[in-house]
Structure 1
């Protein structure tokens, strides 16, 4: 449930402030610091302002945020070494409301990766932990083996999700992550 608008900087809402600050040329990072929030929150505020509310939500669902040319541009920027947040900001400056997490997902989905010299280390497995949305269970090596086995066998997502006790987005994201790691190993060989 959305809260009521929070006035900021003489504007009726933080969202209105974000739109005005971006129009002045401020970066999302600078705006986030001023508001005391993350850059993802700034992106979210911008997206909420630019969302087409002229049609009911049911009619809007399934609409692509980035067209094919923009997806190609996104991939090119990523492969040239641009960071996820920088790419999101690039599109936001063009008036395309997209978040860094959307860019990250689309890059994974399309196989666009940063050059090897710019990649960070693959993080070691973290223990389970809890965040606002609930418990987070990192995938174990056994989970990965079962996931790949089921996927290669042509098992439907819904059945893989049941077998692993995970959501569809979790399974899809993990398969994309494993594919990216495999591609990186092939590049290094």
Structure 2
């Protein structure tokens, strides 16, 4: 059985609770009956940041092992620069992912993250569009 899908109204409410009330991902997830990861994804996608959130630019180790036991790599500054360059050149996400040897989802989520950083503030509907001028398909 798949997880319940969130409607546009629910995702708007998620963003409001995060931005205006500063609710935690866990609290919002409990309210909507979905996983914390689902809420984190939607908040990232929508650029919804709690007013309590502080910028965390620490890089830590470049590789780590995820909860599923798979190796995860952080994006380097050079990879971020290349990602933005390819995105601004209107290269499709699939092709960017192949070029960078990264999963498509990682590329899409990294674009969301970079857009939020560039915007300097959350709260826009599609941060990737603001940063790159592109519409990012899910």
Runs of 5+ in structure 2 lacking a partner? 123-138
Q: Identify which of 39, 49, 55 aligns with 1:121.
A: 55
Runs of 5+ in structure 1 lacking a partner? 1-50, 53-62, 93-97
Partner of 1:90: 31
Q: For 2:73 and 2:86, locate their aligned partners in 1 and report how far apart those are by CA, in whole Å.
A: 19
Q: For 2:30 and 2:47, locate their aligned partners in 1 and report how far apart those are by CA, in whole Å.
A: 20
Q: For 1:108 and 1:185, locate their aligned partners in 2 and report how far apart those are by CA, in whole Å.
A: 12
Partner of 2:18: 78
Larger radius of gyration: 1
Question: Which structure shows the higher helix fraction?
Answer: 1
Q: Which has the higher contact order (CA 8 A, sep 6+)?
A: 2
Q: CA distance change for structure 1 residues 120 and 87 in 2, over 3 Å: closer, same or farther?
A: same
Partner of 2:89: 153
Q: Secondary structure at the match of 1:179?
A: helix
Query: In the TM superposition, what whole-angstrom CA distance separates every residue of 1:72-125 from its partner, at most 9, and x where no partner exists?
Result: 111110112111111101112xxxxx111111111111222212xx01331411
Compute the TM-score of the two structures, normalised by the length of structure 1: 0.58
> How many corresponding residue pairs?
120
Q: Which ranges of 4 or more aligned residues in structure 1 deviate by more than 3 Å?
A: none
Q: CA distance change for structure 1 residues 119 and 170 in 2, over 3 Å: closer, same or farther?
A: same
Q: Is the 8 A contact 1:126 1:138 kept in 2?
A: no
